[in-house]
């Protein structure tokens, strides 16, 4: 005697269907499989509509404006979500994972403004302060930041002047004092505040030139504790003129300290790999198949990062004199902050730290006292939801 097959009414199309496996609320025509629900290939019956909504939103989240990478398959906990009413199928927008989980369905007429205000209040959003570093740090809560990357003035004692040109003509000039008198004391004030705002799992990257890094290292040992020292990264950029009197100075130092060594974030598997310098050595003691797999995979970078500066003809270049390459800061962001985390830079300049954070699904808090820096960042983040202060 064969068991009678049970049928269910799909909550979307209201057609009867026979479930495969465990009972579901939706038929295979509406939801091909549970893992695809609400993601890139999720709602077949509504796919034309949400693709249309995506175009209207410039392929980005309706609330925080984070761009979606539609070329990649969605993974669990990622992807895009349709803001819809399950009972009626009504759709209003497409959201990123963070906004979808932070908000849920809201039955309000002006739902988008409500959603943005709600997310801004209860979920960390991007913020840029037109203010000095210490004042900005004083506004940030204790234990709230996942990663700090700062590239402060290098302590030359000179008055730095940044001249902006368009088509060869000077359009604006900004100058500031590069601190030298008690430069380490000046840095220490900022590091004490940075330690306060870092989470227990947080990490700070302090970018300096070789003239001050050794003094700063001793100061960082005192503020963070020698036991929380992680690395002294050498950024080797090998670009520009060559001295005829000494070895050409073509590197900066980046001191890396955790707030608490045992708790710090280090996402080894998220770090982009680089080619082996001596790929033939991978065959030693390994099978050909294993060696070729390792060569294809590449290796994790060491504490010497060989990356070029932002060239004058680079598409990345935005005209700000101290602009750093995004690939440099991406390594820090991917390695030392969680997805959905908060990245801070209180000497933001052209905003590269924020761009790297946003690109990889982190929120950012930036600050700079220079009007030129703020102008540059406004242009750079014109497609991103930012609270300008």
The pLDDT confidence band at residue 263, using thresholds 50, 70 and 90, is very high
**In the predicted structure, residue 11 carries a pLDDT above the cut 90:** no
What does the pLDDT read at residue 194?
A: 97
Token readout for 5 is 């097959």
- Are 204 and 194 a contacting pair, CB within 8 Å? yes
The pLDDT confidence band at residue 13, using thresholds 50, 70 and 90, is low
**In the predicted structure, residue 242 carries a pLDDT above the cut 50:** yes
What does the pLDDT read at residue 226?
A: 96
Percent of the chain having pLDDT more than 70?
63
- CA–CA distance, 30 with 15 (Å, rounded to integer): 10
- CA–CA distance, 177 with 27 (Å, rounded to integer): 67
- Rounded to the nearest 10°, the torsion over CA 181, 184, 185, 189 is 130
Residue with more model confidence, 171 or 329: 329
- Candidate ranges 173-182, 213-222, 243-252; pick with highest mean pLDDT: 213-222
Query: Across residues 285-309, what is the average pLDDT?
Result: 90
In CATH terms, the fold of domain 26-121 is 3.40.1800
Short-list 139, 71, 146, 162, CA closest to 353: 146
φ, ψ (nearest 5 deg) of residue 117:
-65, -40
Q: Do domains 26-121 and 126-388 have the same CATH topology?
A: no
pLDDT tens digits, 38-70: 433 333 334 455 556 666 777 777 766 666 655
Residue with more model confidence, 27 or 145: 145
- CA–CA distance, 212 with 153 (Å, rounded to integer): 11
Average predicted confidence (pLDDT) for the chain: 77
- The ranges assigned to domains in the chain are 26-121, 126-388
Short-list 189, 82, 103, 143, CA closest to 341: 143
**In the predicted structure, residue 314 carries a pLDDT above the cut 90:** no
CATH class of 126-388: alpha beta
Rg (CA), the chain: 25
* 238 backbone φψ class: left, alpha, beta (φ>0; ψ -120 to 50): left
Largest CA distance in the chain: 96
Short-list 59, 50, 60, 55, CA closest to 92: 50
Helix (H, G, I), strand (E, B) or coil at 355: helix
- CA–CA distance, 85 with 106 (Å, rounded to integer): 9
């Amino acid at each position: 005697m064969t068991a009678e097959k049970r049928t269910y009414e799909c909550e979307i199309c209201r057609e009867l269907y026979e479930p495969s496996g465990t009972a579901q609320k939706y038929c295979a025509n509406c939801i091909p499989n549970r893992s695809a629900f609400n993601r890139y290939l999720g709602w077949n019956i509504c796919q034309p509509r949400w693709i249309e909504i995506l175009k209207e939103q410039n392929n980005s989240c309706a609330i925080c404006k984070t761009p979606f990478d539609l070329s990649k398959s969605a993974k669990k906990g990622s992807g895009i979500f349709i803001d819809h009413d399950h009972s009626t199928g009504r759709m209003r927008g497409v959201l990123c994972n963070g906004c979808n989980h932070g908000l849920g369905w809201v039955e309000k007429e002006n739902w988008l403004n409500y959603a943005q205000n709600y997310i801004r209040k209860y979920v960390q959003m991007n913020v840029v302060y037109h203010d000095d570093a210490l004042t900005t740090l004083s506004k940030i809560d204790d234990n709230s930041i996942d990663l700090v990357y700062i590239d402060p003035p290098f302590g030359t004692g000179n008055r730095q002047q940044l001249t902006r040109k368009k088509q060869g003509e000077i359009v604006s000039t900004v100058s500031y004092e590069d601190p030298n008198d008690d430069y380490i004391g000046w840095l220490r004030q900022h590091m004490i505040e940075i330690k306060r705002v870092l989470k227990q799992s947080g990490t700070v990257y302090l970018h300096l030139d070789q003239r001050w890094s050794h003094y700063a290292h001793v100061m960082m040992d005192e503020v963070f504790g020698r036991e929380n020292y992680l690395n002294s990264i050498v950024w080797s950029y090998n670009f520009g003129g060559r001295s005829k009197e000494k070895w050409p100075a073509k590197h900066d130092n980046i001191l890396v300290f955790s707030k608490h060594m045992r708790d710090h974030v280090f996402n080894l598997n998220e770090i982009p790999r680089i080619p082996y310098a001596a790929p033939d050595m991978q065959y030693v003691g390994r099978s050909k198949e294993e060696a070729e797999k390792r060569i294809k995979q590449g290796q994790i970078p060491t504490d010497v990062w060989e990356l070029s500066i932002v060239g004058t003809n680079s598409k990345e270049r935005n005209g700000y004199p101290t602009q750093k390459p995004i690939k440099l800061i991406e390594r820090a962001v991917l390695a030392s902050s969680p997805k959905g985390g908060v990245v801070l830079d209180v000497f933001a300049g052209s905003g590269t730290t924020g761009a790297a954070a946003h690109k990889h699904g982190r929120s950012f808090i930036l600050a700079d006292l220079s009007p030129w820096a703020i102008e540059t960042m406004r242009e750079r983040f014109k497609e991103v939801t930012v609270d300008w202060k």
